[in-house]
Amino acid sequence: TTSDPEEGGLANLAGRLTWGATDDTSRRQKQEDILQDALECAVHPLHRAQAQLAWANWLLADATAGPATRWLLGFENNDDPETLISHGREARERLSQAREAIKSIRTTELSDDEKKLRNRLLAAADTLEPFTELFAALADRDDVTKYRAACADAAVNLSAAREAEQASVAACARLWQSFGWAMADRQDRALLSLAPSLQKPEQYPYDYFSRLLRCRIVMDQGQY
C-alpha cells in the first residue's frame, strides 16, 4: 500500500488494518523513508495531500498491523496500547495536514479531473478518521467511562465507512465498528453486525476476524 503514495497508497484505504507481515523494523523504516521522499517531492497541494493520506493509511494499516490484531483478539502485550495510541495520533495529524493542503487550493483554479481528485481525497480522509479515533481511544483505557465513550464514538463514526463501495473497506469497517461497540461494553450491539461464526467468510481477512470476534464476545458472555 505504500510503494506509490499517489496511487497504491490510497487504492485500499483500510486495507490490511488487521493483517500484515511480521514486525520488521528495517522493512518499516524503508517504507517510511519512501513516504517521506514522496512527501518531500510533492509540490502541488493535492499531491502533498495524497502523500499525507498514504502515510496515514500506512500508519493504520501496516505499522500497527501486529498490535492491532493482538488487541482485536485479546492477546495484546504491554507495549501494544502505546504503539496504537501514538500511531493513531500521528495518523490523525497527517489527516489534518492533508485537509489543510486541500483547503489551501481555490476550487476555481482546479481542472475537472483535479476537482474529482480533491473530492476523492476528502472522502479518503473521512474514511480513515474513525480508525484513528478508535486507536487513540486507548489513551483513556484507565478511565472506564471515558474509554467506553471514546470507543462508542468511534464506532458511530465508522458507520459511513461500512457503506463504502469498496467491499474490503466496508468489511474492515464492520469488523472494527463491532469491536468498538464491544470495547464500549455494548456487546449486544456488536453482535448485531457480526455474521454467524460458522458462516463462510467472503472478504478476507476481515470476515474471518469477524468470526473470531463473535466467538470472543459470545465466550465473554459465558455462552457456547
pLDDT at 23: 55
The burial of 188, by beta-carbon neighbours within 10 Å (0-12 exposed, 13-18 middle, 19 or more buried), is given as exposed
Tell me how far apart the terminal alpha carbons of the chain are, to the nearest angstrom.
38
* Segment 147-203, tens digit of pLDDT: 999 999 999 999 999 998 899 999 999 999 999 999 999 999 999 989 999 999 999
pLDDT at 36: 79
Under the banding of pLDDT at 50, 70 and 90, the label for residue 18 is very low
Q: Is there a contact between 61 and 15 (Cβ–Cβ < 8 Å)? A: yes
Return mean pLDDT, the chain. 86
User: What average pLDDT does range 130-138 have in this prediction?
Assistant: 95
Of 11 and 201, which is predicted with more confidence? 201
Integer CA distances (angstroms), 28 to 9, 59, 70, 80, 185, in order? 15, 10, 19, 16, 34
pLDDT at 224: 85
Contacts of 158 (CB under 8 A, 6+ apart): 130, 131, 134, 173, 176, 177, 180
* Segment 94-110, tens digit of pLDDT: 999 999 999 988 877 78
Its pTM stands at: 0.83
